[in-house]
Amino acid sequence: MVWSVSYSIGTSMWRVAKTLDDSSSRLQEEKTENSNNIINKDTLLFGRKPVPTNAFQPYLIDGKTKPTFHQRVGSFIAPMKPLFQAGIVSSAVGYGIGAILVTIRSWVLPSYVPVTQPINIGFACVYTGCFMAIVSNIRYQILQGVIEPFIEQNNVIQERPKVRSFFILMIRWLNGLLGSILAISGMRLFGLQKLK
């Protein structure tokens, strides 16, 4: 059940915490899409100051302005609210479906004894929202702002598309695995997941 929640967290993370791609063709597409409204509500901190979509981006969405230190810090803060909301919704769906399946299993197999105690869905949702807003936010900022651009700029890797695809796949898979391990470890630490 936790793995399904981790999957839904990962997909929610990609949808909520977008990062501007620095590659020239995609950057041009982003500029064209946003030509009428260069700074939208997704790139504003508290509705006032523009921030990069990733703390490690060299430029703001206009492609010219270098972000200040405060704007880079703001890029960690700006996605926290939508990530918290996405974490609550995705975990409510994941744990809710899990609870329904456990109930069905107890009706079909009344002799089955689960090895874990039931999860408090409310606390688990709040924990998952906080986890996404802080831990996943930092992981994806580093992944998309440091690791993936390094791969994109490495000439040896760029000359071999299959190697590049393998690296990207493995890095994203390992990032998802790390996220699941951290999420489960945190749940155990806070007593949200206990053995009987």
Contacts of 180 (CB under 8 A, 6+ apart): 2, 3, 6
Closest CA to 8 of 119, 128, 114: 128
Regions of the chain short of the pLDDT cut 70: 1-48
- pTM for the model stands at 0.73
Q: At what angle do helices 80-108 and 2-16 cross, to 10 degrees?
A: 150
The pLDDT assigned to 126 comes to 96
Q: In this structure, what are the phi and psi dihedrals at residue 49, rounded to the nearest 5 degrees?
A: -100, 130
- Angle between helix 161-189 and helix 2-16 axes, rounded to 10 deg: 120
Domain spans of the chain?
Answer: 2-189
* pLDDT, position 157: 77
pLDDT tens-digit readout, 173-193: 999 999 999 999 999 999 888
